[in-house]
Amino acid sequence: MKRIVILFTIFFFFLAANGQKYMTKNGYIGFFSHSAMEDIKGDNNQVAGVLDISTGEMVFQVLIKSFHFEKALMEEHFNENYMESDKFPKSTFRGKITNLSSVDFTKQGKSDVTVEGDLNMHDVTNKISAKGTVEVVQGGVIAVSKFNIVPEDYKITIPGVVRDNIAKTLEISVNMKYAPVGSK
């Protein structure tokens, strides 16, 4: 009897897990800073992310050192002075789609969503809310969002000399192409 219960549990777990979780290791997160002095853009194409379509939960994780800049000096300052990536190598977001019922994952199409959750970077965690879209496509789900953050909210101090070179709020772009877990 015990064995049957275990087997049944495993079977049920597989059934529940099958087709519910989507993931990618090649997602994109970028940030853009516009100021009168210069435009600064950092791109990260190594974002790991999981989306659970049964609960609407989303997890994103990046390595700070994977952000890439046009100029070598920008990348150095970003890592050493602002993000201190040797001390705080990773940034994580854990959140949830708040209006999951308005997304129909059974048919292709795009829906507007709002995601709320905790963004951790530079050893500081803040609640954030972002608007975006979730698009169900052949063989996957594409999630896209743009939102703003303020560096000072994450205890990132920018020296007065270069403060005018960096925007007060940074625009974050997210573009994730998820595939069902289990497919390569």
Partner 1 sequence: MKTYVKILLGVVVFIALGGIGAALYFFNLQHRNLGKAKPDFVITAIDLQKAFEENESAATAKFVNKVIEVRGSIESVKPGEGSILNVTLKTGSDLSSVICTFARDADPLKLNAGNQVSIRGECSGFLMDVLLNDCSLIK
Residues in contact with partner 1 by CB under 8 A are: 25-26, 28, 30, 43, 45-46, 48, 61-63, 65-66, 68, 70-73, 75, 89-90, 175, 184
CA distances 93 to 40, 102, 110, 116, Å, are 23, 22, 23, 10
- Closest distance between partner 1 and the C-beta of residue 98, in Å? 26
Residues 64/79, Cβ–Cβ less than 8 Å: yes
- Closest distance between partner 1 and the C-beta of residue 61, in Å? 6
- Closest distance between partner 1 and the C-beta of residue 62, in Å? 7
- Closest distance between partner 1 and the C-beta of residue 72, in Å? 5
Residue closer to partner 1 by CB (options 113, 177) is: 177
Integer-rounded Cα radius of gyration of the chain: 19
Residue closer to partner 1 by CB (options 63, 136) is: 63
Residue closer to partner 1 by CB (options 103, 172) is: 172
- Closest distance between partner 1 and the C-beta of residue 43, in Å? 6
Q: Catalogue the E-assigned strands of 55-184.
A: 57-63, 68-69, 90-97, 109-121, 124-137, 140-149, 170-180
**Angular region, 83: left φ>0, alpha ψ -120 to 50, beta rest:** alpha
Residue closer to partner 1 by CB (options 43, 135) is: 43
Element counts in the chain: helices (H) and strands (E): 2, 9
Residue closer to partner 1 by CB (options 23, 103) is: 23
